[in-house]
């Protein structure tokens, strides 16, 4: 599933092509995604100019003049910018056709993505209203994690993957950040001190920032707007490295299942 770095890479690739462009028409070939595509999308978006594209958590928000198109890539979704007459590929479900002859094309083989039209401000949308802070934003730091974690018995990995705690820390990046901060993923969130949470918050920021620069992580389905793959998988220290030496030279990486997710860590240096 595309995580925050992959979604941010998609946003950065799409935004320059659509900013200031008027929408000619919307073509919905397959409305049955995770939820039905909003009928209002084809009614209200044509004729409007796209002002910019924002990201909130793993949602892309295309800001128009009187509302937003809210898009989630799901497990296998991808966006491309193509000439409007480009032949269709299998699973090309939705086209946003622009006046300049280009099209934003949504492809989703598994159909777990979603597209909504929002008349109100995005922060009032039910799927966005209760999300935690952005990990690269000003309100996220060790103090936030420390305060939020008090009394929590859940493993710290589960805690930082909770979107009410902080958005966008998916399985790969949680494993990598905990390894960087030398924190065992099973340690109870409420038994970690402030200084260690400062280190973890810094690690989360650094890991996500590095992944964005690398264009995300391609392990299976993710392909960027330009058709290229992400390269952060070449820099992974723990994720998927079962039995391989820890980069710090202290022992082999171990795999365990925590919260129904494969978790990779070094049992020697992560405490």
Assess whether 58 carries a catalytic annotation. Answer: yes
Assess whether 3 carries a catalytic annotation. Answer: yes
> Dihedral through CA 41, CA 30, CA 7, CA 260, nearest 10?
120
Assess whether 87 carries a catalytic annotation. Answer: no
How would you class 222 by CB atoms within 10 Å of its CB: exposed for 0-12, middle for 13-18, buried for 19 or more? buried
216 Cβ neighbours under 8 A, 6+ residues apart: 2, 3, 5, 6, 9, 222, 224, 230, 232
End-to-end CA distance of the chain: 29
152 annotated binding-site participant: yes
Identified catalytic residue from 3, 6, 8, 176: 3
Identified catalytic residue from 11, 58, 80, 157: 58
Q: CA 69, CA 80: separation in Å to the nearest integer?
A: 16
Helix (H) or strand (E) holding 250: none
In terms of phi and psi (left: phi > 0; alpha: psi -120 to 50; beta: otherwise), the region of 186 is alpha
91 annotated binding-site participant: yes
Q: CA 108, CA 129: separation in Å to the nearest integer?
A: 25
Assess whether 133 carries a catalytic annotation. Answer: no
Q: CA 233, CA 262: separation in Å to the nearest integer?
A: 16
Cβ neighbours around 144 below 10 Å, total: 16
Identified catalytic residue from 24, 187, 261, 267: 261
How big is the chain, counted in residues? 271
Q: CA 265, CA 240: separation in Å to the nearest integer?
A: 10
- Binding-site residues from annotation: 91, 110, 152
- Binding-site residues from annotation for DNA: 91, 110, 152
Residues annotated as part of the active site: 2-3, 58, 261
């Amino acid at each position: 599933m595309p995580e925050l770095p992959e979604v941010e890479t998609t946003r950065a690739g799409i935004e320059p092509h659509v900013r200031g462009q008027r929408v000619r028409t919307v073509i919905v070939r397959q409305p049955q995604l995770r939820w039905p595509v909003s009928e209002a999308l084809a009614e209200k978006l044509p004729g409007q100019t796209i002002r910019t594209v924002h990201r909130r958590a793993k949602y892309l928000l295309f800001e128009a003049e009187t509302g937003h198109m809210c898009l989630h890539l799901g497990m296998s979704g991808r966006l491309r910018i193509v000439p409007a007459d480009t032949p269709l590929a299998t699973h090309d479900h939705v086209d946003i056709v622009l006046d300049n002859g280009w099209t934003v094309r949504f492809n989703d083989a598994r159909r777990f993505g979603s597209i909504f039209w929002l008349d109100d401000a995005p922060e009032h949308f039910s799927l966005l209203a209760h999300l935690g802070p952005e990990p690269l934003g000003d309100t996220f730091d060790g103090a936030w994690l420390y305060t939020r974690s008090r009394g929590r018995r859940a493993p710290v990995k589960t805690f930082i993957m909770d979107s009410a705690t902080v958005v966008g820390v998916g399985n790969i990046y949680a494993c990598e950040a905990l390894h960087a901060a030398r924190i065992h993923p099973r340690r109870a969130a409420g038994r970690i001190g402030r200084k260690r949470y400062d280190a973890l918050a810094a690690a989360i920021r650094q890991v996500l920032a590095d992944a964005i620069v690398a264009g995300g992580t391609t392990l299976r389905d993710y392909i960027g707007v330009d058709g290229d793959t992400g390269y952060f998988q070449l820099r992974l220290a723990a994720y998927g490295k079962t039995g391989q030496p820890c980069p710090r030279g202290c022992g082999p990486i171990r795999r365990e299942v925590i919260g129904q997710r494969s978790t990779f860590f070094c049992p020697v240096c992560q405490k």
